[in-house]
Amino acid sequence: MALSVEKTAAGREYKVKDMSQADFGRLEIELAEGAKITGSLHMTIQTAVLIETLTALGAEVRWCSCNIFSTQDHAAAAIARDSAAVFAWKGETLQEYWWCTERALDWGPTGGPDLIVDDGGDATLLIHEGVKAEEVYEKTGQLPDPASTDNAEFQIVLTIIRDGLKADPKKYRRMKERLVGVSEETTTGVKRLYQMQANGTLLFPAINVNDSVTKSKFDNLYGCRHSLPDGLMRATDVMIAGKVAVVCGYGDVGKGCAAALKQAGARVIVTEIDPICALQALMEGLQVLTLEDVVSEADIFVTTTGNKDIIMVDHMRKMKNNAIVCNIGHFDNEIDMLGLESYPGVKRITIKPQTDRWVFPETKTGIIVLAEGRLMNLGCATGHPSFVMSCSFTNQVIAQLELWKEKATGKYEKKVYVLPKHLDEKVAALHLGKLGAKLTKLTKDQADYISVPVEGPYKPPHYRY
């Protein structure tokens, strides 16, 4: 499989590996005892390097993607042949998606994985829902009922659990018992974890990798600044200059998207619920309005909120002919795809895979929806570039090592943790050389003056960067 070799030859991929070996070599012995890791995270070239870093550190790995469109099939194939069990392909159905997730978690009769690398929280969700169902079943004999929910995807989750339950009514509880912890990649998954922590339902320790500065302020921001226009261009070849673009949400992802669109010559309008983020948008010269204000005048719409029901079918009906609608938030419920699909008389014309034109019957005009409302940068392009993913995944590796190292010490309870700042700074430091940067060194006298150690960490925990 030549392609993975090519990428390796590009040097970037070796970066994370070398780094880990150099800096965490002494920890290798622990993962080398054979930690079993399940990952649910976009199966791309960059993730392939993460997987091979984990296996090089001694782990056994099973992997699925966390998005039906994000798998790069050559990356999946290379890993499947050389390094780990992989269950992922581009263009899964939702049934297939959850089957893959279940496969990746299934390590046979001894229980599930020791560690989970999660992105969006679907692997974590499946275990939590599984445990819940098993407990109900044990107490009441009642099986989960897919018809109890309107949510089509959750019906599938319940079906999978139900179907497995009779065969093995303790599977998920064995998983829970074995599991040392999860490290979670993204805002959406982290939000779920904090909700479970607040409700007291979290079943195992979790490290919030998303909120490492070198993750959320790099991957979410600079990654999207790169991959949003990449996805737009590959999917539509549209000229961004001169267009009116609406970015829904001005968090880290929205900031990256708005910056990219503005720099490419679009006029950008932001929608926000949070007055602080709104004021930030204004300070950058962006207009802040509601979607209703601009729905019929804009050319490009991007959702970045992490919330649901942002662009509804009633919005889409009012858009200009060939307005482009896409989502770069984790889940596909930011855009009302269900409402669109079930709109009476609507016609879907597939221009090419992941680029659909939907024509409304009244107006005969249509809109272009990318990646069926799922992450357009992964569905229509190749996601974030390696450099920024190297920052994110170095945090993942550190988190996995930390959970594993402390597995017997009780350091981590059933709570959500972030990595300590000196590790965050270390991740950044490891990436400076590649870009030719030279750091200034504090003198002892200067360090004392600002009350920090000479070698860092340099900022208080509340510092915002």
Query: Which residues are annotated as catalytic?
Result: 42, 65, 70, 119, 185, 210, 215, 219-220, 224, 330, 384, 392, 396
Q: Is 255 annotated as a binding residue?
A: yes
Tokens linked to 105 = 């978690």
Interacting residues with a copy of itself between 318 and 377 (CB under 8 A): 321-322, 349, 351-352, 357, 366, 368
State the DSSP H helix or E strand holding residue 323, giving kind and residue range, or none if neither: strand 323-327
Nearer Cβ to a copy of itself (172/393): 393
Query: Is 277 one of the binding residues for a copy of itself (CB under 8 A)?
Result: yes
Cα 464 to Cα 202, 216, 281, 289, distances in angstroms: 28, 11, 17, 26
* Closer CB to a copy of itself, 38 or 382, in the complex: 382
381 lines the binding site for a copy of itself (CB under 8 A): yes
* Binding test (CB under 8 A) with a copy of itself, winner from 340, 367, 418, 419: 418
Confirm whether residue 251 is marked as ligand binding.
Answer: yes
Using CB atoms within 10 A of its CB, is residue 374 exposed (0-12), middle (13-18) or buried (19+)? Answer: buried
Please give the DSSP secondary-structure letter assigned to residue 144: P
CA distance 461 to 454: 17
Gap between the Cα atoms of 205 and 115, Å rounded = 10
- Give the residue, chosen from 138, 309, 341, 413, that forms a contact with a copy of itself under the rule CB under 8 A: 309
- Is there binding between residue 154 and a copy of itself (CB under 8 A)? no
- Give 115's DSSP letter: E
Q: Establish whether 186 is an annotated binding residue.
A: yes
Q: Does 456 bind a copy of itself (CB under 8 A)?
A: yes
| Interaction between residue 42 and a copy of itself (CB under 8 A) | no
- What residues from 174 to 193 belong to the interface with a copy of itself (CB under 8 A)? 191
Contacts of 130 (CB under 8 A, 6+ apart): 161, 164, 171, 172, 175
**274 contributes a contact to a copy of itself by CB under 8 A:** yes
As given in the structure block, the two tokens for residue 191 are 């939000």
The packing angle between helices 187-199 and 122-140, to 10°, is 30
* Binding-site entries for substrate: 44, 119, 185, 215, 219
Residue numbering of the annotated binding site for NAD(+): 186-188, 251-256, 272, 328-330, 377, 384
Which residues are annotated binding-site positions?
A: 44, 119, 185-188, 215, 219, 251-256, 272, 328-330, 377, 384
